Amino acid sequence: MIVFKDICKTYIMGDEQVHALDHANIHIKQGEFVSIIGPSGSGKSTLMNIMGCLDTASSGEYYLDGMPIERYSEKALAKIRNKKIGFIFQSFNLISTMTAEENVELPLIYQGVRASERKARVKEALEMVDLYSRRGHTPNQMSGGQQQRVAIARAMAAKPSLFLADEPTGNLDSATGKQIMSIFKELNKQGNTIVLITHDDSVACQAQRSIRIMDGKVSDIAYDENGEQVAPMRGGTV
């Protein structure tokens, strides 16, 4: 469902050119749990922003469920993000003036879902992350782990086909991180596609498959059932 063909992203900083993504070729199938791992500054966030239709590539082609993304207008992309993609950010990105409930409800409002159905879906999503009792709290009344669970609930409520998580456990302690990871595993079990970005091998190895990124270049790694690294399946491209 996700196809990157020779995607490049070049930032121009004065005289210097930064190749944040350098001819990246990626295939991710429906229902996969893929981690993208690489050190800081390797281009992970750039990759996710393009994958999430938040940013456009400098060159190359990106097909999401067969749709050629670079040909869509911002209005159409907003709709795609709304319906197909659920974002989970490292810094949670909840709207601070809104309660947990309102944050989770927002994508449904943009989808044009009726109020009664919104209520039901918000409840379902918040119960899934075990935070329904905290629905009236604003982000600053919650811990980091709780905020991230609200963010996951927000992504879930919209019923997207793709969950994109950019270092979702990066700002959390390891116990809370585990809790978050188990939610992702549960989501994956339900058939959702999950792309998880991390710089932490112990997080990355929990996915079925990892894509390594280094200076904007991607290569594939697979793990065996013990979490041990095995040889790439097919050259640098998957």
Partner 1 sequence: MFIQSIKMALKSIMSNKMRSFLTMLGVIIGVFSLVVLVSLVTGATGSITDSINELGTDQIDVDISDVRGVPISLEELRTDIASIESVKAVAPQTYGVGEVTSMTKSVRAVAIGTTPELAEIQGIKLEAGRFFMNPDLDNNTNVIVVSHELAVDVVGRSDCVGETVKLGGRSFTIIGVMEKQSNSMMMLMMGTPYRAYMPYTTLVRLIPGKDMSVWSFSVSAVDDLDQAEKDIQEYMIRRFPGDEEGYSIYNESQISDQMGKITGILSILLGGIAGISLLVGGIGIMNIMLVSVTERTREIGIRKAIGARPSVIMLQFLIEAIVLSVMGCLIGIGFSWLAMQLINMIGKVSFGLSPVVVIVAVLFSMGVGVVFGLYPAKKASAMKPIDALRFN
Binding residues for partner 1, rule: CB under 8 A, are 49, 52, 54-55, 74-75, 78-79, 81-83, 87, 93-97, 106-107, 109-112, 154, 158
Interaction between residue 43 and ligand ADP (CB under 6 A): yes
Query: Who contacts 85 (Cβ-Cβ below 8 Å, separation ≥6)?
Result: 52, 53, 160, 161, 162, 163, 164
Beta strand pairing status for 16-28 and 2-13? antiparallel
For residues 41 and 236, which CB has a smaller minimum distance to Mg ion in the complex? 41
Which one of ligand ADP, Mg ion, partner 1, none is in contact with 72 (Cβ closer than 5 to 8 A by kind)? Answer: none
SS3 content of the chain, % helix, strand, coil (to 5): 35, 30, 35
The closest of 47, 76, 74, 75 to 62, measured between CA atoms, is 47
| CB 110 to partner 1: min, Å | 4
140 with 96: CB under 8 angstroms? yes
Helix (H) or strand (E) holding 208: none
> CB-wise, 45 or 206, nearer to partner 1?
45
**Beta carbons of 96 and 38 less than 8 angstroms apart:** no
- Residue 217 CB, nearest approach to partner 1 (Å): 22
For residue 26, the minimal CB distance to ligand ADP (Å) is 15
Q: Which does 83 bind (CB under 5 to 8 A by kind): Mg ion, partner 1, ligand ADP, none?
A: partner 1
Residue among 44 and 154 whose Cβ is closer to ligand ADP: 44
Residue 90 or 161: the one with the smaller Cβ distance to Mg ion is 90
Helix pair 144-157, 100-111: axis angle to 10 deg: 20
Site for ligand ADP, rule CB under 6 A: 11, 13, 18, 20, 38, 40-46
